Structure 1
Amino acid sequence: MALYTQEQIDKANQTNLEEFLQQKGEHLRKTGSESVLIYKDSTGEHDSISVRRNRWYDHKNMRGGYPLKFMQEFYGMNFRTAMKELLHGEEPELGRKKNAEQEKPNVSEKTKVNGNTAKCEDGTKKSEFKLPEKDINMKRVFAYLLNTRFLDKDVVKSFVEQKTLYQEKEHGNIVFVGTDKEGVPKSACKKSTAEHAKGFRMTVAGSDCRYGFCWRGESSKLYVFEAAIDLMSFITLRNDEWKADSFLALDGLSPKPLLQFLEEQKNIHEIFLCLDYDVAGIETYDKLKDILIEKGYVAEKIKRQYPLYKDWNEQLKAEHGKVPILPQSHPKKTAYHVAVRKLGIMNANTESPYMKWRKQEYEKSGFSFYLEQMKRDFKQAEKSVKKGEADTKPLLASILRMADLSICMMCEIKRDDTLPELTRYQTTIQELEKAYKTYLDKARMDRRIQEMKEEMERLETFSFQDQPSLFVWAKNMANMAMRAIIYVETEYLQELERKNSFVEQSKEEQKTEPDTTEQMELEMGG
């Protein structure tokens, strides 16, 4: 089979992604030396993807790279389709296919786009760090933080006195400084005090992303926030003697400032994750908690504190009579809960045709009924996905049965006769829901189907007597099916729409391309 050569792969990855996306009709907004891709998904409109020439970085999901990976991640394309698009239809040449590590240029993919400077993920600096020049006064900063953001004056003064907050001379921006344990400045972020530039913020060139705006206390408690203003808002809302505790702003959602802070502050044993009450905050809580547990912190000592509204400053605004931005639940977690309720209601109706059929077939054939029916349902689901059908009802019906039957298997293998059948079922599925983490659930539909297929093939290695292995298999399948249901309910139609619009545009472009062979013949006189 003809394969793309390494030269072709390198050529694809050298594509100017900014120009390519603009030609495809994507919405990009220029911000300094880079562009921000504006896109929509089930959670709303986002601007988390930075693009600069042939590189991209998704700050929300903390991954990035080059054009080939972007086409696979964002459009859900396979390798060959992505290559063909980037090379404008160029066919693969005969050659030995390189491994995944060779599918990118000889430049570290760890270099990412962030603000107006490129920084490596290991924290090494690409340019010299220098704090912006201080203004002679703090009038604009105090006016903004006290009158617009409603922060307590003494709280603001405390950070000014420790020299981690000041007013920039050139533009009058607020400068939030990140320091190490010795108080040495390591990073800085500028934020506008002007109402018309409400969303403006910029990381100062050369900043070491491992250090965040913080307050170092002597107690064992650490409170973690996304932004410096949220941190100071929380302290203002507390209205107590706060200085004994520690407070840290991540300046986003990266775990690096938290890990560095904990490395330096060995007195911390209780961590409160006070992130925004929105999609990104919900996902980051789960991720940070998992990272901290891996580092040896006790799960019970890692706690979540929610603001009443979208973030802590919105809560502070509400207390001053302003209309706050409301909290936002995670669509996938909401969809998961709805699916759990559906399955619970379905199982409660023991007289329905489906429930009678399921019981009758299980009594007749035992586990083999569950397994054979799941195989049939999987084949139907796989067929629907391959066709790319916009009508998702048949697909949902197949996956829902797979989830139901695999949960039934789990209940039967670990049968507890002291509990009613419905209680066993509901307890099992609620445990699956409790363990669900959205940050780990990012795959496109074709990848989900592939994982199910691989799990189905693993089934051939088990015997009905190997019940521990069968239980693990059934649990894996239940998780996969439930996640697939959630994806279909929240993002699958948008994936199809994005793919189809891209394919249609490519077809139109091919139609309008001149026939070069005919043109050459005309120029040569026929």
Structure 2
Amino acid sequence: MPYVTPEQIERAKQMDLLTYLQYYEPQELVRFSGNVYTTRTHDSLKISNGKWCWWSRNIGGRSALDYLIKVRGMTLPEAVLQIDRQAAVTPPVSPKSQEPSEQKKLLLPEKNENNDRVIAYLMGRGIHREIIDYCIRTNRLYESHDYHNAVFISFDRQDFPKYATLRGTTNKRYMGEVNGSNKHFSFSIPARQESRRLHLFESAIDLLSYGTLELLADRDWRQDCCLSLVGIYKPKKIIEESTPPTALMQYLKDFPQIKEIALHLDNDTAGRLAAKTIKTILPPIYTVSDEPPKCGKDVNDYLKITLKIRQPRERE
């Protein structure tokens, strides 16, 4: 077995995986989205913010040394010599000399003078006025000037708008997203106080529908955190090779206290497959429960059915 010195081990520990792949195995590095990368061999392995995680195997680390040992199966001396030999041939260039990637600017549509059409549209779908008013007051929702679309806004941890999705109020089949949107962030509502539990939905309207159902049941609709996904989540044919939804990964990174996840995805084939996949591939540190709507295609359908049942009882 080859011998390596403590100094060689210490040097090897200093190299992060992204730098290693950029300079010594660029053919293996694939940009996933934004500042997140994956590898050509293992596309469920994601690299971001100086760390890497192989989601399908529930292992991760920081350094290239960790990667070579845990993923490539090298011994410690073999991994140290691999890094040491490569660095001796081609020393990595300082990151400061690289051009920073330009961040896209979120081009939010102009606001309308009021939100009347958006309020009427959402109330027509059963959403409680208290919840609509909360979203407007916290700048999560407004009506666009030109087309009177509902604009649902997502923020990062510093409260900067990062993503916006559009929903038509006149052409009610219209759905889209704003130019410059960052798919790592999606529409969410925080818990009133810190919570370990997250509720996950396919759309912003399903999220608001769940809040309405909680309010109608005399429960605190902001007791837990709520997050919607950026469109329909499509796993791979072999679900173990799939990657969790980008917005969910970002949220769990931003809110590490989350340990329980309730899935409220649609009752159709795509929703059931998405729920099964997320339950399968999330690391075991999370307790994941599948809680689809009791009837109807989605949470908003279930809300409207619930309201129809309640109305005759309220008139009695």
TM-score by length of 2: 0.59
State yes or no: 1:311 paired with 2:298. Answer: yes
- How far off its partner does 1:198 sit? 2.3
Aligned pairs for 1:202-213 within 5 A: 202-213=176-187
State yes or no: 1:297 paired with 2:285. Answer: yes
2:156 is aligned with what amino acid?
A: D
State yes or no: 1:139 paired with 2:116. Answer: yes
**Structure with the larger strand share:** 2
- Cα deviation, 1:365-399, whole Å, max 9, x if unaligned, reads xxxxxxxxxxxxxxxxxxxxxxxxxxxxxxxxxxx
Correspondence for 1:245: 224
SS of 2:308 mapped into structure 1: coil
- How far off its partner does 1:291 sit? 2.8
State yes or no: 1:201 paired with 2:175. Answer: yes
Task: Give the Cα separation in 2 of the matches to 1:137 and 1:215.
Answer: 22
- How far off its partner does 1:109 sit? 8.7
Correspondence for 2:277: 287
Task: Give the Cα separation in 2 of the matches to 1:267 and 1:244.
Answer: 14
Task: Give the Cα separation in 2 of the matches to 1:126 and 1:216.
Answer: 26
Correspondence for 2:86: none
Unmatched runs of 5 consecutive residues or more in structure 2: 1-26, 38-100, 234-244, 310-316
SS of 2:200 mapped into structure 1: strand
Task: Give the Cα separation in 2 of the matches to 1:125 and 1:285.
Answer: 35
Task: Give the Cα separation in 2 of the matches to 1:265 and 1:158.
Answer: 22
Correspondence for 2:250: 260
- How far off its partner does 1:269 sit? 1.1
1:314 is aligned with what amino acid?
A: D
Correspondence for 2:47: none
- How far off its partner does 1:234 sit? 0.8
- Cα deviation, 1:92-122, whole Å, max 9, x if unaligned, reads xxxxxxxxx9xxxxxx9968xxxxxxx7694
TM-score by length of 1: 0.36
- Cα deviation, 1:244-267, whole Å, max 9, x if unaligned, reads 310000022340111100100122
Aligned pairs for 1:74-153 within 5 A: 122=36, 127-147=104-124, 149-153=125-129
- How far off its partner does 1:242 sit? 2.0
User: Aligned-pair RMSD on alpha carbons?
Assistant: 2.5
State yes or no: 1:273 paired with 2:263. Answer: yes
Correspondence for 2:159: 183
* Structure ID, larger Rg: 1
Greater RCO between the two (CA within 8 Å, min separation 6)? 2
Q: 2:201 aligns with which of 218, 222, 225?
A: 225
Distance change (3 Å), C-alpha of 1:109 and 1:220:
closer
**How many residues are aligned here?**
203
- Cα deviation, 1:208-259, whole Å, max 9, x if unaligned, reads 0000000122111100000000000011111221223100000223401111
- Cα deviation, 1:10-55, whole Å, max 9, x if unaligned, reads xxxxxxxxxxxxxxxxxxxxxxxxxxxxxxxxxxxxxxxxxxxxxx
- How far off its partner does 1:126 sit? 7.8
Task: Give the Cα separation in 2 of the matches to 1:265 and 1:110.
Answer: 24
State yes or no: 1:320 paired with 2:307. Answer: yes
Task: Give the Cα separation in 1 of the matches to 2:160 and 2:103.
Answer: 19
Task: Give the Cα separation in 1 of the matches to 2:230 and 2:104.
Answer: 19
% identical equivalent positions: 32
Task: Give the Cα separation in 2 of the matches to 1:145 and 1:257.
Answer: 24
Aligned pairs for 1:343-382 within 5 A: none
Correspondence for 2:240: none
- How far off its partner does 1:177 sit? 0.6
Aligned pairs for 1:497-508 within 5 A: none
Task: Give the Cα separation in 2 of the matches to 1:190 and 1:290.
Answer: 31
- Cα deviation, 1:468-502, whole Å, max 9, x if unaligned, reads xxxxxxxxxxxxxxxxxxxxxxxxxxxxxxxxxxx
Task: Give the Cα separation in 1 of the matches to 2:280 and 2:169.
Answer: 36
- How far off its partner does 1:319 sit? 2.5
1:251 is aligned with what amino acid?
A: V
Aligned pairs for 1:64-83 within 5 A: none
Distance change (3 Å), C-alpha of 1:121 and 1:183:
closer
Correspondence for 1:155: 131
Distance change (3 Å), C-alpha of 1:229 and 1:179:
same
SS of 1:247 mapped into structure 2: strand
Task: Give the Cα separation in 2 of the matches to 1:160 and 1:219.
Answer: 23
Distance change (3 Å), C-alpha of 1:284 and 1:121:
farther
- Cα deviation, 1:119-151, whole Å, max 9, x if unaligned, reads 76949888432221111111000000002x011
Task: Give the Cα separation in 2 of the matches to 1:144 and 1:310.
Answer: 19
1:247 is aligned with what amino acid?
A: C
Task: Give the Cα separation in 2 of the matches to 1:121 and 1:199.
Answer: 33
SS of 1:321 mapped into structure 2: helix
Task: Give the Cα separation in 1 of the matches to 2:174 and 2:302.
Answer: 21
1:281 is aligned with what amino acid?
A: G
**Structure with the larger helix share:** 1
Task: Give the Cα separation in 2 of the matches to 1:179 and 1:188.
Answer: 9
Correspondence for 2:79: none
Any conservation in 2 of the 1:125–1:206 contact (CA below 8 Å)?
Answer: no
SS of 1:178 mapped into structure 2: strand
Task: Give the Cα separation in 2 of the matches to 1:134 and 1:253.
Answer: 27
Distance change (3 Å), C-alpha of 1:120 and 1:262:
closer
1:283 is aligned with what amino acid?
A: L
